[in-house]
């Protein structure tokens, strides 16, 4: 059985806010730690039948990048729900929401 390790290192400032986020995975193409400005990790807790979430971002992450990051996450979820359950309706609804959010963000960027 193949095994893959994914590791995160988070440096915090004096107020316990993320200052720097580094990550690595044992099966990624490049070797060593890479920097990122945001992570979003979701874990299904079988025992409590609920989702555990960890969302971290550095002050380097702009508001526009954060919005794009979450739209991309939801777009990926649309594909995952289709692949894992075959539920085309749910997948298409998530994609439609993403399309509306992209439109909203584009309008915001035009007006600022």
Statement: residue 29 has pLDDT above 90 = no
Query: Residue 112: what pLDDT?
Result: 79
Residue 36 and residue 8: Cα distance in Å, rounded?
A: 10
Statement: residue 83 has pLDDT above 90 = yes
Statement: residue 111 has pLDDT above 90 = no
Residue 45 and residue 17: Cα distance in Å, rounded?
A: 25
Please tell me whether residue 63 adopts helix, strand or coil conformation: helix
The DSSP call for residue 29 is: S
- Report the predicted TM-score, pTM, of the whole model to 2 decimal places: 0.86
Q: What is the mean pLDDT of the chain?
A: 95
Average pLDDT of span 75-102: 98
């Amino acid at each position: 059985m193949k095994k893959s390790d994914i590791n995160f290192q988070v440096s915090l400032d004096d107020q316990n806010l993320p200052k720097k986020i580094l990550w690595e995975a044992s099966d990624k193409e490049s070797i060593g730690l890479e920097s990122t400005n945001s992570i979003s990790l979701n874990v299904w807790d079988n025992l409590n039948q609920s989702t555990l979430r960890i969302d971290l971002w550095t002050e380097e992450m702009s508001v526009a990048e954060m919005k794009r990051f979450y739209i991309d996450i939801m777009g990926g979820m649309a594909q995952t729900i289709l692949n894992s359950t075959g539920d085309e309706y749910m997948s298409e609804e998530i994609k439609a929401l993403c399309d509306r959010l992209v439109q909203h963000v584009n309008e915001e960027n035009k007006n600022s």
